[in-house]
Amino acid sequence: MASPLRSILAVAGLGLLLSSPLAGAGNLLPEIPKAKARVSATQGCVEPTEVMRHNHMKFLLHHRKEALREGVRTKKYSLMECINCHVPDPDSPQAVHYGNPKHFCSSCHTYAAVRIDCFECHRDTPLPSSRKSTSASGVTAPVTLASGVDAHALKKASSPAEEN
C-alpha cells in the first residue's frame, strides 16, 4: 500500500541529495584548471578524459618503468608532458606549485584525499620560459606565488616526505 509513496519519497530524497551539492555548493567539487592545448578537436588529453581520470596513475606507472629502466622516451604518457600542458609557466602570474588547490594535480588529489610523492623528486611546474632558451640551471630562488604565499610551504604541508 505504502510502497509507491515510499518510492516516490525515496526518489525525491535522492533528487535532493544529488541536486544540493551541484546546485547550491559548486565549490565542493574540484575546479580543474584547463589544459594549455588539446590533442585534437574531439579529444582533449592523450586519452579520453574519463579514461585519464580513472587510469592516469596506471599510465604514469607503466611509463616510468619504460622510461627509466628501458630508456623509452615517448612523450605520450610522460609526467613532464602532463606538467608542461596542465601547469602554468612559473614566470606567469598564475604560477602554482603542487599543494596549491589551483595546481592541476592538487585540484583533484585534494578533493579525493590522495597523497602522492611524485613531486618530492619531479618538478611540479614546467621549466620557466625564461630558462628554456638559456642553459638549464638547477640554481633557483624560492618561488613565491602571486598571492604572496610561499609555494614551498604549501608543498611541504601537502606532501610529507615519507611515503613510498
Partner 1 sequence: MTDQNRFEEARRRFLKGAAGAATLAIAPGVILHQVARARPASQPASSENRWGMLIDTTKCSSGCDACVRGCQEYNGWGDNEVHSDAAQKAHWIRKVEVRNRQTGYTHSLPVMCQHCKYPPCVDVCPTGASMKRDDGIVLVDKHICIGCRYCMMACPYKARSFVHEELHDQLPTAPRGKGTVEACTLCVQRVDKDGPEAVPACAEACAAEGHNAILFGDMNDPNSKLSKALEKYGGTQIREDLGLDLGVRYLGI
Q: Which chain residues interact with partner 1 by CB under 8 A?
A: 64, 66, 68-75, 80, 83, 120-123, 125-127, 135-140, 142-143, 152, 155-156, 161-162, 164
Q: Please state, in angstroms and rounded to a whole number, the distance separating the CA atoms of residues 78 and 56.
A: 10
**Nearest distance from C-beta of residue 161 to partner 1, angstroms:** 5
**Nearest distance from C-beta of residue 48 to partner 1, angstroms:** 22
CB nearer partner 1, residue 27 or residue 137? 137
**Nearest distance from C-beta of residue 132 to partner 1, angstroms:** 10
Q: Side chain identity at 49, as an amino acid letter?
A: T
Q: Across the strands, what pairs with 150?
A: 144
CB nearer partner 1, residue 41 or residue 161? 161
**Is 98 strand, coil or helix?**
coil
Q: What are the grid coordinates assigned to 51, written together?
A: 579514461
**Residue 97 near residue 124, CB atoms below 8 Å:** yes
Measured at the CA of 58, the angle between CA 54 and CA 63, to 5 degrees, comes to 140
CB nearer partner 1, residue 30 or residue 143? 143
CB nearer partner 1, residue 30 or residue 131? 131
